[in-house]
Structure 1
Amino acid sequence: MTVGPQRITVAGFSDGASYALSLGLANGDLVRDVLAFSPGFAAPARRQGAPRIFISHGRQDPVLPFERCGDRLAAALVQSGYDVAYRPFNGGHVVPTEIAEAAFRRFLG
């Protein structure tokens, strides 16, 4: 059995979400989806391909502030032409069940 790019995703929470975004944006020809829950940054060495991106972030996040992190990242990626599903929510530095379910529905759909 061969696994192609149409079935590969990278995902993470907090710093893991930042790394997932960076890895996915740099390897968009290999990765179809990036699921980033409360990311702080994206710092790919280069951008290649166009993975679909799911970002969620809590509006009351005390660890990685909403306006400086998830909100800013989502807007910048949309402006750069990426297919971004952005799910801000009322809450802190967590991944609510309904947000995780929405991310996986997007990946599997």
Structure 2
Amino acid sequence: MNQPRKKRYGSLDSYVIDAGQAQTPAALVILCHGYGAPGSDLVGIAGEWAETLGESADQFRFIFPIAPHSLDELGLPSGRAWWMLNMARMMDAIQAQQFDELHHETPPGLEESRRALSQLVNAAREELAEQRGCDVDAIRFALGGFSQGAMLAMDTALRGPIPAPELLIQFSGSVICQSGWTESLSRLQKTRVYQSHGTQDPILPFPSAERLRDLLVAADVDLEFHPFFGPHTIDGEAIASTAIALQQLLDPPSHGNTAP
């Protein structure tokens, strides 16, 4: 497996890994890190996926965007954010178990990050299509993230100027912009969504994950929901299951939507 290289797509620097040594990848996987993490935080997942995918890993290009906002002034010299958080307000909501207002609001800075991620998605698809000598519509891709990165990925899939991804990954995400998301969920009718969340999550409590799950199920989205006993993290089963879902980017199933 190749070492990560730095590349800029639009306004975002990213870590890029082509898993194969001798062929141009056929599909893209774009995964956004969470609030406060360094831009390299999720890069190791590419190796875990590649181990499960085996020879099929050679057909993937993995891209890990680096969020635009530095958290140096908050004492996190390598920390990045897709948008800034009012941590005191968030902690109050966690303690009071009152997340409803947060679920409905549009965070300041979300639109700018949605625009930047959309530019990255489109530029990366166009780049790969040119390298493969094919139409850009032939490039299949997965989009996802962890925590704040998962929220951005969902928002971009629903409201960004990009095609709907074939696979949307939600590691420990939550609901924001609920009315806007609900109006746009029909965009995911041909998208498979994988959602995982720890039942003991102290950062984004599990009821927030259930709210996202229920929105997707109500819209008849093809959803695989994986609750696990654990905190704000990504467990091994989530890595294994998303590797299987990535394989289906190369060998899409012939059946249609399977949501309950």
**TM class by shorter-chain length?**
0.7 to 0.9
- Which of 66, 76, 84 is matched with 2:206 structurally? 66
Which range moves more in the overlay, 45-54 or 35-44? 45-54
Between Structure 1 and Structure 2, the one with more helix by share is 2
Distance 1:34 1:60, change over 3 A: same
Say whether 1:80 aligns with 2:230.
Answer: no
Partner of 2:169: 35
Which range moves more in the overlay, 18-27 or 57-66? 18-27
CA shift digits 1:45-83 (9 cap, x unpaired): 66234221110000000000001x211101111111111
CA shift digits 1:11-53 (9 cap, x unpaired): 1000001111111223574411100100022535662342211
Amino acid across the alignment from 2:146:
F
Amino acid across the alignment from 1:34:
L
Q: Give the CA deviation at 1:9.
A: 1.1
Larger Rg: 1 or 2?
Answer: 2
CA shift digits 1:69-104 (9 cap, x unpaired): 211101111111111110011001000122112122
Distance 2:138 2:206 in 1: 31
Counterpart of 1:4 in 2: which secondary structure? helix
Q: Is the 8 A contact 2:188 2:221 kept in 1?
A: no
Partner of 1:90: 229
Counterpart of 2:225 in 1: which secondary structure? strand
- Which of 222, 236, 240 is matched with 1:101 structurally? 240
Amino acid across the alignment from 2:219:
S
Q: Where do 5+ consecutive residues of structure 2 fail to align?
A: 1-131, 249-260
Q: Percent identity?
A: 29
Distance 1:96 1:49, change over 3 A: closer
- Which of 2, 5, 10 is matched with 2:143 structurally? 10
Counterpart of 1:8 in 2: which secondary structure? strand
Q: Where do 5+ consecutive residues of structure 1 fail to align?
A: none
Amino acid across the alignment from 1:78:
V
Partner of 2:153: 20
Distance 1:108 1:65, change over 3 A: same
Amino acid across the alignment from 1:55:
Q
Q: Give the CA deviation at 1:107.
A: 2.6
Distance 1:49 1:36, change over 3 A: closer
Alignment RMSD: 2.2
Q: Which has the higher contact order (CA 8 A, sep 6+)?
A: 1
